Structure 1
Amino acid sequence: METKSILLKIFYMTPIIGLILLASCDNDRSHKADDNEGITKEELQAKARIAGKEGRELLQIIEKKPGTRSSGSAYPDYFGGIYLDENFDIVLVIVDDNPEKFRSMAEEKVKRVNLHLQKGDFSLNELEKIQEKLDDFFRNSAPKSIKDNLISAGIEVQANRISVEFIDISPDKINEFKKAFMDSPAIIFKQGTGPFIDLANVNSGSGIKPPGLNNGSVGYRARNSSNQIGIVSSGHLFTMVGQGAYINNVHVGQVANRQNSGTVDAAFIRITNSNYIPTNVVEGTGQILIAVTHPFEGEPATLRDINGAYRGIVLDVNAGATGTGGVYIRDLIQIVKYV
């Protein structure tokens, strides 16, 4: 089965929208269906939904449990993360010589799918601190030769490491990175392929575009601080405040605010055409966007746009990559896409 690695922007507290990056890649975890022979597609989907729900409930317990925590950290120091394995079983990574002593705590919420405990070397707190420094490095001080070599960089819970994907992973390139940033056993290097291609048209909605450019997609209905009704689309597609927005060659609105940096790749488009009423119905499905969840590594993902649907498996929930114009965007979700 051919797969593609996708990086997509998630705005926490808002639905999925924004920067989509593609690169060809192979990954054993893209073949979950092949590892579940005898289970129907519907049963597999149901199991994945249950695992995701119970995993998020387990995470809530861990966040609230007392325990040793580094100053300002969200999680106990023993917590290395949660992911779903190839069978959609929940795997809890524990930084302790005896992970099994945490089983009873985890089984308070994990009841309908299998639970596995994996010994880790680094807490999620430690990895997140390194990731923050790495994001800052790529945004502000990384040499051009390193930035141009980057495919993605983010926390890989299954490996319990920061995974950095380079186009060229020769010893010279790896050493250049280590000297410029840091040499840490918490960082691993992988071969990636590139360059990434920005896609402005992979959002859940109908087509929308600036004058003279290709279609992007409507992300979701929104209202700004001035109580103006509009929609959100991609900041790398709509590049200027005041820029017009067109649907089927009809002028529907203007860009009121936009940003394409840091964690944000978005444009708020104020609707000025009274004949156009934005909704939160997902294009081509009749379904309504009503909730947002934070996915786990290993969880199934579907992204729908004006061209169809993209389905795959989440590989990384905290990645960074360089997008349009060399802008480094962080807090991306990376998935393996089935083609």
Structure 2
Amino acid sequence: MKRLIFTLLVMALVTGCSSDDMLNDIQNNTKNKADNVYDLQKSKMEAMSLADNLNSSFESSITKSSNTVYPNYYGGNYINEEGRLVVLTVGDTIEFRNRIKTRVISDNFELEPCLYSYNYLLTTINNLNIFFDTIEGKKMLQELSISAFGLLDNKNQVFVDIKDLNSDKINQFKNKIMDTPAIIFCNTDFECSTHLASDIHPGGPLYTTSTVNNNKGGSFGYRVKSRSTGAQGFVTCAHVMKTQTAPVYYGLAEKIQIGNCVKLINNGDLDGAFCQVTNNGFTLSNQAAFGAQLSTSIQTLSVGADVLMDGRTTNRRAWGVVQATNVSVSFKDKETGLYTPLYKGLTQTDYECQEGDSGGVVYSTSYKTVGMHEGGGYSTFTYKYIGYYWPASTVNSKLGVTRY
């Protein structure tokens, strides 16, 4: 009996020690993972700040046509998986390090050699945009089932997304549209469609009809004022508002008119609207629908940067990563079945987005204003979301508004 008790005691002690060790291992692993996440986010924040410096350094090169001219040695930039800024250069990376260092105002970045200058890639995108705006181009867009095209900054290439991709479609593209090794073809099997995406908080719900049981509408973008008149209001998507004088309603059980759309642009350069708030009973806020206190500063994000979106239907802060820039997309309206104009200059992300989020605010992890959500959806091929937003600089410039 004593021997049995002794054996049980030994087993209990061993088990106790093993449990304690296991618990310590779990706690240490959890702490290490948390530390790693914190370190990565800290690195990304610094990289985003350095990318801001780099992008701002090119602004002095803006020509009369408002197009930025980049140095011929510059191939783009992105943030890698370690959270570091990577700058691409054509040719000798040692020769250009000091030039980039002056622009970034830091030496905490990596250089990577590339084949194509950023100017060349942008010219390629521009030439595709010009072609697909023609009658022949619009026909080819649908014949080849081209979902989108844009820049993969981290790969220094232009991507063309073709549904049901095959060699015949690739050959047709090369023979009839453009043939350059800078273009790569991909297939996400994703058909882009616009989703009509009020608490006057950015990302909150807005309505375009007073009918209680009709939820047609979208999402508030961010607070702005007109540069010419000083009128205060917000931005959202043009396809949400439909017409230039459309009323804007807020409310759930009882919808109250808070203002009207006063400027609407829906062409290849922008799907955007400026709505003036005239009801004195409502105040516009810079606090996003899900709590973020947004800065009025505008930020341009690099590929690899974290990005957030608040929208009406997703109904939470959607988190994603920038995947491509200068993307051109032709959306299909779910209600009419018609295709929109070829929208140019969008940014592609992988944040969650649903019908009703259109017009929602897009912002960075430092809460700077990044843009306005356009549309997107869920790919049954990749089992991932694809979201597109208009950069705030484009929205503000085209609509003649500024943040406040």
User: Taking structure 2 as the reference length, what is the TM-score of the superposition?
Assistant: 0.67
Question: Shift of residue 73 of structure 1?
Answer: 6.3
217-226 or 53-62, larger mean C-alpha shift: 53-62
Question: Shift of residue 286 of structure 1?
Answer: 5.2
CA distance in 2, matches of 1:143, 1:217: 30
Q: Could you tell me the percent identity over the aligned residues?
A: 24
1:336 to 347, 350, 353: 350
**CA offset digits 1:84-110 (Å, max 9, x no partner):** 1111122111111x2232223334546
CA distance in 2, matches of 1:59, 1:181: 31
Point out where structure 1 has 5 or more consecutive residues left out of the alignment. 1-35, 66-71
Alignment-derived partner of residue 149 in structure 2: 153
The one-letter code of the counterpart of 2:299 is T
The one-letter code of the counterpart of 1:207 is P
Alignment-derived partner of residue 206 in structure 1: 204
Question: Shift of residue 132 of structure 1?
Answer: 0.8
Matches within 5 A, 1:78-227: 78-96=73-91, 98-108=92-102, 109=104, 111=106, 113=108, 115-141=109-135, 142-147=137-142, 149-201=145-197, 204-211=202-209, 212-224=214-226, 225-227=228-230
Q: Which has the higher contact order (CA 8 A, sep 6+)?
A: 1
Question: Shift of residue 165 of structure 1?
Answer: 0.9
Give the length in aligned residue pairs: 295
Residue 236 of structure 1 aligns to a residue in which SS? helix
Question: Shift of residue 222 of structure 1?
Answer: 2.6
CA distance in 2, matches of 1:290, 1:78: 33
**CA offset digits 1:204-247 (Å, max 9, x no partner):** 33210112443411112233334433222110111112222111
CA distance in 1, matches of 2:44, 2:175: 42
240-249 or 213-222, larger mean C-alpha shift: 213-222
Question: Shift of residue 326 of structure 1?
Answer: 1.6
Q: 1:120 to 1:288 in 2, by over 3 A?
A: closer
Alignment-derived partner of residue 316 in structure 1: 324
Alignment-derived partner of residue 12 in structure 1: none
Alignment-derived partner of residue 9 in structure 1: none
1:267 to 273, 279, 294: 273
Q: CA RMSD in A?
A: 2.5
Residue 299 of structure 2 aligns to a residue in which SS? coil
1:326 to 302, 322, 339: 339
CA distance in 2, matches of 1:330, 1:53: 26
User: Taking structure 1 as the reference length, what is the TM-score of the superposition?
Assistant: 0.79
Question: Shift of residue 178 of structure 1?
Answer: 2.1
Alignment-derived partner of residue 241 in structure 2: 238
Equivalent pair of 1:210/1:245 in contact (CA under 8 Å): yes
Equivalent pair of 1:150/1:166 in contact (CA under 8 Å): yes
**CA offset digits 1:241-264 (Å, max 9, x no partner):** 222211111111222221121221
Question: Shift of residue 143 of structure 1?
Answer: 4.0
Equivalent pair of 2:58/2:68 in contact (CA under 8 Å): no
Residue 46 of structure 2 aligns to a residue in which SS? helix
Point out where structure 2 has 5 or more consecutive residues left out of the alignment. 1-31, 62-66, 353-383, 385-404
**CA offset digits 1:163-189 (Å, max 9, x no partner):** 111112211112222233211111111
Alignment-derived partner of residue 253 in structure 1: 259
Question: Shift of residue 277 of structure 1?
Answer: 2.3
Alignment-derived partner of residue 285 in structure 1: 291
Equivalent pair of 1:50/1:112 in contact (CA under 8 Å): no
**CA offset digits 1:23-50 (Å, max 9, x no partner):** xxxxxxxxxxxxx967433322111010
Q: Indicate the structure with greater helix content.
A: 2
